[in-house]
Structure 1
């Protein structure tokens, strides 16, 4: 049920997926900048808890809805951010057809909403559109190396199709569209069991469980702290003139998975060891963004080093897990969680 605002200030901005990990940080930043924010989320992977602190703000509204359904917003909209899509393999592979349709039908619905309101539209795409890249680092003009029929295709190809829809709308002049290709992002409000590599390692270390490294651990990733990413998204949305091309947003610092595991263990007083498991199908071997375009067109580059960002994230998980333990009912039977799989996205 939507809660109506009592006043209007700044821009009116819809954030689809606003109760998710990145979306909740974006909603908070937009409110802090003096805007009216409408959070639209179906809570499939987002959580009401992520935006609970915003609920008392008179300029914030929550609408519970799936973007695959027709979307109607009564008040005028100035901007729409589309962050609505599961982003980790356990989440997007749980219902791959819905994942694909979220990127295709859902993005189409939001583009039509943007056209009706003459709103500027930003699509959250992903580094996954590059697949297991044969070019390194990845520049935006690289077309990618993607298995279009594999178990990750629902997400990878869904996002590629969403980009095609966005740029077709831009070419025909129906919507002012911007596209951000987001690389590995981490920080507070990640779900402890979402299967992303940073949250996997932190939660396992805090529970004194073995840190699961898939494959040799020599595959590389680049990790961007969430506040840096949010700043980049806002800069891209407000950039004039429209760049008219996709923009990589990520931290170009490159680390092996094994290096990340060792760094987490160095920051957590843990008895955990490192174990290895088979690499999932189509898992990229190297991932690093070329952000020259973001530096030139947006004046953006990340500021938070991995060492510092991990400290903030670990502190948040320590508090979150402690609250979960305190809330657990005595005698409750717990099912052993399925071993998560690495994720390379939001």
Structure 2
């Protein structure tokens, strides 16, 4: 089956996570993605988990891409990049604002070469505003966006924001960039013109806080119900009886149909006001069972719930296997699994492509496509401008 983005050519100047996440999704839909790396390579190539010198972390973010390693301070390399831009549909970069301009690769310059070019810039705070030039990684954006303090307010008894290890801002920013690029490609079909996409990870995070941005403007209501993990005799389970029907199903599942006549739980408003009590009573039931048993009983009654699982359990999860949620890819150290995009398309192949490029392995081939001879490529390597 063909990919929705077959024939789309992407020049990828991104590194670390947000940009590579976006461009891997483009590759998953069939785009040809040419990753432009420094001579030292994307720093994630050196990050664990590593096997025989190859990073599975890097492979996850960069499967399906080609690689050219070069010195962007070389005028000859910049000239070649500009020739390459003329053949591309999309360019994605996540340097700090101003860096691409210093290379002579800003949108205005490249749009003059290729007016159909869609140029996506991903940065912490966006390309404009008083903090545009501030350095930022995902944990910094989590703090700046209010996300960490919101979470702290939801953790009764905690006295500082949670330690960060999952880079939500990167994944969210990359996902928004992927979507914006699709919209720009569609608009180009109607107008014939490319455009600049300015993606702010800060704004992506703020946009995720749907309830909280409204609560900040209109405070004073009672605290909304929070979803608390319930203990079992061997772990934890999440139970979310949010609708009236869910509440009835819960009362049946735990053997307490009389809860339906309890004045504390008669209406949605009553249950919301006594939410913590309802969960505490439910926990008395879950504590007498394993997480798996509680999940099975509650699910059988239609109660939304899930036991808490470790990531390694998910690798062989029957639901994910049925959906084809993982693809197997290979790098120089062998095979490993990476998540596919979370959507399926009836008319398009959507999966990670089975290729993880070595640093610079496609440089000669990419330049040959521009008519650069083998001798000229060798000379660039001799001068240290091409990896």
TM-score (norm 2): 0.34
Q: TM-score, normalised by structure 1?
A: 0.37
Q: Which structure's CA Rg is the greater one?
A: 2
The answer to which structure has the higher helix fraction is 2
Q: Which has the higher contact order (CA 8 A, sep 6+)?
A: 2
